[in-house]
Amino acid sequence: MAITKVWVEEGCTSCGLCEGTAPEVFEIDDVSEVIEGADVSQYEDEIKDAAEDCPVEVIKFEES
């Protein structure tokens, strides 16, 4: 199954872990955001790692 959508729910603490794990997909402004236009299909392992390691569990993704 391929990741088709990635988002960050409310509650992000801006720890920077996701940006460090997948800088091609996530960026920290005030809170973590998914970079618009990021090709999430190329970074599936990194996205899954970021979601698994997120201390507040707000990184979500959808697979199809």
For residues 40, 15, 7 and 62, what is the CA-based torsion angle, rounded to 10 degrees? 70
CATH class of 3-63: alpha beta
Alpha-carbon dihedral sign for residues 17, 19, 24, 29: positive
Type of residue found at 45: D
pLDDT of residue 28: 95
Which helix (H) or strand (E) covers residue 28, if one does? strand 26-28
14-62: pLDDT as tens digits = 999 999 999 999 999 999 999 999 999 999 999 999 999 999 999 999 9
pLDDT of residue 15: 97
Residue 31 in tokens: 């809170």
pLDDT of residue 60: 98
Which helix (H) or strand (E) covers residue 52, if one does? helix 44-53
Length of the chain measured in residues: 64
